[in-house]
Amino acid sequence: MEGILGIIVAALFSQNFILVKFLGICPFLGVSKKTDSALSMGIAVTLVMVITCAVTYPIYVYILTPLGLQYLEIIVFILVIASLVQMMEMILKKFSPGLYSALGIYLPLVTTNCAILGVAELVIAAGKEAGTWAYTYGNAVLYGLFAGIGFTIAIVLLSGLREKTDKLNLPKCLKGFPITMIIACFMAMAFSVFSGL
C-alpha cells in the first residue's frame, strides 16, 4: 500500500504507537482506569502530536539542516514541545474553557510523553533513511494526526477492558499493573493481525 492510505493504516493499526512501537506506555498505563479520562488524554495527545509534527518538521528541514546543527535536534525538539504545550494551555484557557477543564491535568503531562517526541523523531528518521524527505510536509502532519488517533483508540479500548477487570477477584500479585499488561498483551495480539495488510 502506498501513499496517504498507507500512512493512515500504518499509523492507526499496523504500526500503532502503543501496541506495536511501545511509545507512550506511561499514560497508557497511568490514565486508563476510566474511559472518560482515557478519552481526554487521547484528545490531548492527538492535538499536541499534530502541532508538534507541524512545527518540528520545518524547524529540522529549514533551520537545523542548512545550519548543520542536526546534533541539537533532541534539545530543540523537547524545548519546542514543552513551549507548545504551555502555549496550547494558555490559548485553550482563554478561548475554550470547556475543553480546557475537560483536558485538565492531562495537557501538561503530555510534555513528558515519549509518543510526542517519538513522532517528531520518527518523521525525521524516515527522512534520513530514505536520503530525501520521505514525508512531505502534509504527510508528516497527517502521520501525526493518525498516530494520535491510533493512540486514542488503544487507550480507550484498554480503559474499557480495565473497568471490567477491576471487578474480578484476582490473586493479589496480579492486581494493578500485571493484569493490565496481560490485557495489553491480548490487545497487541489482536492488533498484530493488521501487520499482514
Partner 1 sequence: MSKKPTFKEIALDGVLRQNPVLKLVLGTCPTLGLTTAAISGLGMGAAATFVLICSNILISLLRNVIPDKVRIPCFIVIIATFTTVVRGLLEAFLPDIYDVLGTFLPLIVVNCVILGRAESFASKNPVGSSALDGLFMGLGFTLALTLMGIVREVLGAGAIFGTALWNFKIEFFAKPAGAFFTYGLFIAVFTLVSNALEAKKSKKKAVVAETAEEGA
Does position 177 bind partner 1 by CB under 8 A?
Answer: yes
Residues 6+ apart with CB under 8 A from 163: 33, 34, 35
Q: How far is the CB of 128 from partner 1 (least distance, A)?
A: 11
| Of residues 55, 46, 57, the one with CA closest to residue 145 | 46
- 110 exposed, middle or buried (CB, 10 Å; 0-12, 13-18, 19+)? buried
Does position 22 bind partner 1 by CB under 8 A?
Answer: yes
Asked if 154 and 187 touch (Cβ cutoff 8 Å), the reply is yes
Whose Cβ is closer to partner 1: residue 19's or residue 142's? 19
Encoded one letter per residue, x for contact with partner 1 by CB under 8 A and - for no contact, window 54-83 reads -----------------xxxxx-xxx--x-
Q: Report 116-175 residues binding partner 1 (CB under 8 A).
A: 117-118, 121-122, 125, 172-174
Residues near partner 1 (CB under 8 A) are: 19-26, 29, 71-75, 77-79, 82, 112-114, 117-118, 121-122, 125, 172-174, 177-182, 184-186, 188-189, 191-192
